[in-house]
Amino acid sequence: MCRYLSCFCYPILSGMLPIFIASLFSILAYRNVRRIVRLQIPIVHRRLDRQLTAMVLARTIGFIILTLPYALQRMRIYLSKVGKSDLFRITINHLLGRIITSWFDLNYAASFYIFMVSSLRFRRQIKMF
C-alpha cells in the first residue's frame, strides 16, 4: 500500500494529472479565443471571451501554484524514512504538512478572488447581490 501511495497515487493522481489537465484545457481555451478573434464576431463577444480566457488562465496558474507544493510534500513524506525516535524531524514534517495542506485548501477560496480580480462582469454580478 505504501508503494502504491508513494509511486502512483500522490505523484500521478494527486499531483501531475490534475495540473496537466488544467494546463491542457487552459491552453485549449486560449487557442480558441485566438481563433475567435480572427472571425467576424461582435466586439462585445470578443471582449467577454477575452475576459473568460483571462479568468481561466489566472485560475490555472493559481491552481498550479497552490497544488504543486502539496503533491511534492506528500511524495517526500512517503519516500523519506524518518525513525520514530527522531521526534524533531517528525514534528517538522507535521508542521510543514499542516502549512502546505492549508496552502492547498486555499485553492478553493482562491477561485472566487481570482475571478473578482480578473473579470469586470463577474464583479458586476457580485454587486447585484
Q: What percent of the chain has pLDDT over 90?
A: 3
Cα 21 from chain centre: 10
Q: Is the pLDDT of residue 43 over 80?
A: no
How large is the average pLDDT for residues 31-54? 74
How large is the average pLDDT for residues 1-27? 78
Residue 79 contacts by C-beta under 8 Å, 6 or more apart in sequence? 6
Locate cell 473568460: which residue? 52
Between residues 93 and 6, the one the model is more confident about: 93
Mean pLDDT value across the chain: 80
The amino acid sitting at 92 is I
Q: Is the pLDDT of residue 41 over 80?
A: no
Between residues 81 and 76, the one the model is more confident about: 76
pLDDT of residue 1: 61
Here the cell at position 69 is 507544493
pLDDT of residue 2: 62
How buried is 129 (Cβ within 10 angstroms: 0-12 exposed, 13-18 middle, 19+ buried)? exposed
Write out pLDDT tens, residues 87-124: 888 888 889 989 998 888 888 888 888 878 877 777 77
Here the cell at position 90 is 517528525
Taking residue 58's Cβ as centre, other Cβ atoms within 10 Å add up to: 19
Torsional class of 55: left (φ above 0), alpha (ψ -120 to 50), beta (otherwise):
alpha
Cα 2 from chain centre: 26
